[in-house]
Structure 1
Amino acid sequence: MNEDLLFNAAPGGPPRYSHLSHKPVQYLAVADRHGQVIGYAWANDADDAAGWVIRKAGGDKAFNEGSVWAIKLHDAKARGIAPSVALAEMIQESDPTKSSHVVSGSLTEAANADVVRRLANPEYG
């Protein structure tokens, strides 16, 4: 009972986009059915990076509704598509009658993923 536990990383698991990019990223805003932004999806093909950033100010509701968008990114990576294509699919498949949707015309560029994180949560920076 006094021995240290050893944890060895096991290979495998589902494929994931990198969550880091210091290069320019594309991003889009996602809103709830009332038009309140709940988070942002971002992507950078050069780093094979993408992520979902929840607006913490949206609370549990934003977290719950936002999980769908994180899953969309995981599924896109599993299908082997580029991060920017994943964003394009999000836009194309977005439905404003659902609990959350892509804000029309919100696709834009930021200097890097940290800019998007600060946009979602100003206290991040």
Structure 2
Amino acid sequence: MTSENRPNPRFEEDMQFKRFAGPPRYNRVARGPVQHVRVVADNGVVIGYVWANDEDDAAGWLVPPGLGAAEINAGAAWLRKLRAAKAREIAPTTLLTELIRDTSDIQGSRVVPGSPAESTTLDELKELANQG
């Protein structure tokens, strides 16, 4: 009596892997100047910078080092703003204009008056963010 070890027929099926795109996002790299707004918590601590560059369809959120958990968590609302703006297919600098005009739906932080500013490169803005 011989027994055959036959594999389960499901293991012989051709698997179809499909790649699904995530939510739409702006590019994270800008080759030219970037406009940016500084964001502070209600206690005055800088919690990040929203930056934008229309030529590269790029925008992002930069966080200074050394923030506490509350400040880092406050940044999540700004990331949601970025993703929502891309989903609406608006230009990155138009997003900055919207943020300057109204962020009443974001609790605990705000755009600093006098924004936006411009940095010659994204790396320059990163250096500014790293200074706190």
Q: Is the TM value for this pair above 0.5?
A: yes
Find the counterpart in structure 2 of residue 114 from structure 1.
123
Matched-pair identity in %: 44
- 3-state DSSP of counterpart to 1:61: helix
What residue number does 1:20 align with? 29
Question: Are the aligned partners of 2:99 and 2:111 in contact in 1 as well (CA < 8 Å)?
Answer: yes
| Paired residue total | 115
Task: Please list the CA deviations of residues 25-68 of structure 1 after superposition, one character each: whole Å capped at 9, or x if unmatched.
Answer: 10010000011111100000000000001112222222100111
TM-score, normalised relative to structure 1? 0.84
Residue pair 1:39, 1:62 contacting (<8 A) in 2 also: no
Distance, in Å, in 2 between the alignment partners of 1:10 and 1:49 is: 23
Go from structure 1 to structure 2 and tell me whether the alpha carbon gap of 1:9 and 1:53 turns closer, same or farther (over 3 Å shift): farther
Match of 1:29 in 2: 38
Superposed CA RMSD: 2.0
Structure 1 CA distance, aligned partners of 2:34 and 2:113?
18
User: Which residue of structure 1 aligns with residue 80 of structure 2?
Assistant: 71
Deviation at 1:9, TM superposition (A): 8.2
Unpaired runs of 5+ residues, structure 2, are 1-16
Structure with higher Rg: it is 2
- Normalised by the size of structure 2, how large is the TM-score? 0.80
| CA distance in 2 between partners of 1:64 and 1:107 (Å) | 23
For 1:41-120, list aligned pairs within 5 A: 41-95=50-104, 98-120=107-129
Whole-Å Cα distance in 2 between the matches of residues 88 and 21 of structure 1? Answer: 19
- Alpha carbons 1:54, 1:62 under 8 Å: kept: no
Which consecutive residues of structure 1, in runs of 5 or more, have no partner in the other structure?
1-7
1:106 Cα shift?
2.7
